[in-house]
A and B are shown apart, each in its own frame.
Chain A
Amino acid sequence: MTEAGLRVDHVTKRFGSADTEVVAVRDVSLQVKPGEVVLIMGPSGSGKTTLLLMLGALLKPTEGTIALGDLELSAMSEGKLPDIRLRHFGFIFQDFNLLSALSVQDNVAFAAELTGVSRGVARSKAAALLTELGLDHRLRFPPEKLSGGEKQRVAIARALVNDPALILADEPTANLDSSHGRETMRLLREIAQKRGRSVVIVSHDTRIKEIADRVLWLEDGEFTNAVEMATDPVCGMAVERDVAIAGDRDGQTYYFCARGCRDEFLAGVAGPP
């Protein structure tokens, strides 16, 4: 994995043609760094899912480019995309979408087996991940016997089993009660911090803001400044102006992720951007 993470440049997606044309995503640019949690919010029909599908190589942009490290997804042939998705992306869905005929452990192992590792290796990898996620007592359970939160943890384990660079989640908390939703959010945050994965979440759920490094507002297919963003000049993290810590230097206002960054910056240890 190169340091560059995911890079989206001037991506547009149109559906239909002529008078029935819908522009679902309009000239969107975005970068997601390793370890970063990005939340994309916006009203219904604003193009969130469409954007996420393009990020996950499930949908081709009409215009623009999407690159993961040095892999340019938007230029790849259809036949190569399944393998890219298998090895570099992890998907988490609103409905969990586990395979009902397989046990919890086999659900996770199946995704690993698709890459060609042996069943034994796949199953032990699955067991290890599920244990980390606190599901060691549920390995042999059929998915239907799990609570919503447990199902979503299984889905998270499945998304992680092939060590993807990027986790993509569409409304991961929509079908969960608030405590399970919170637990899922905590896990996603942890995945980014401890494992250095990028996490892109699409959601209506404002609680997710708490764990996001960045919140982007999509409206009518375009990012708007409903949330004004700024970049911390010290650590480079994107911060919301409303909630960030502000500081003035040389007659200009800067925004910081934390007091430490501001103090460092104002003390002149770190230079201006």
Chain B
Amino acid sequence: MTTRNQSSCDESEMELFSYLLRLGDNALILGQQLGASVGKGPELEEEMALANFALDYIGQARLFFGLAAEIEGKGRNEDDLAFLRDGIDFTNVLLVEQPNGDFAQTIARQFFFESFYLLQLRALRHSENSKLAEIAAKAGKEIQYHLRHTQQWLVRLGDGTVESHRRMQAGVDRLWQYTGELFEIDDLDRWAIDAGIGADLAEIRQTWLAEIKSAFVEATLEMPAGEWMAGGGKQGRHSEHLGYLLADLQFLQRAYPGAAW
């Protein structure tokens, strides 16, 4: 009996660890993408915003990984989790690893993800795990600010010039197929929902759709029509983009194993 309790406790710790990794991976990969766009912004204020948002995401990744490592209890730290796992071990959604593309595609990616992520974080504020709830509350404040900024660009570009409208529409059409995965509920999500740890993605989806629709109306954009949705990121099945992203990210830690920086 004791042994069983012990093992089920270990199991739930493993689940929690994996759940935190997913959150950390999304934040890390998006932070890495935004970091790569520094120096390429359309104006100086935007350069600052991009660097600032990248910084927020890297900060969030550190918090999620830090807690994950602590729960895992095997002596790994945030950097081990970020720099010493291979692509098939990363469980971020495919959306965040999509390239920056032109500024409209960057905005489309940020808008789709952040409008989802903010709802997810709001739900996580009520997580049974109080440390996770704390991180979610802090991150939520940052993402609320990002989303306001991102949505303003969505509207400006959608309702700006003929060219910006065309690009913005192309951006959202291009990335729409990666939005399904955000709400896909697999075994791990099911566990998190049942344990009161994680967000109920089905509930979030309705709010998300309503918000997206109203933003698109304001931005004079058409809702993308595609029905087919890509998936697999959460299970470690990624696009080719991730490998290159990790090659940059992990270069120094791989080239000089065990060095302190």
**Do the two shown chains form a genuine complex with each other?**
no
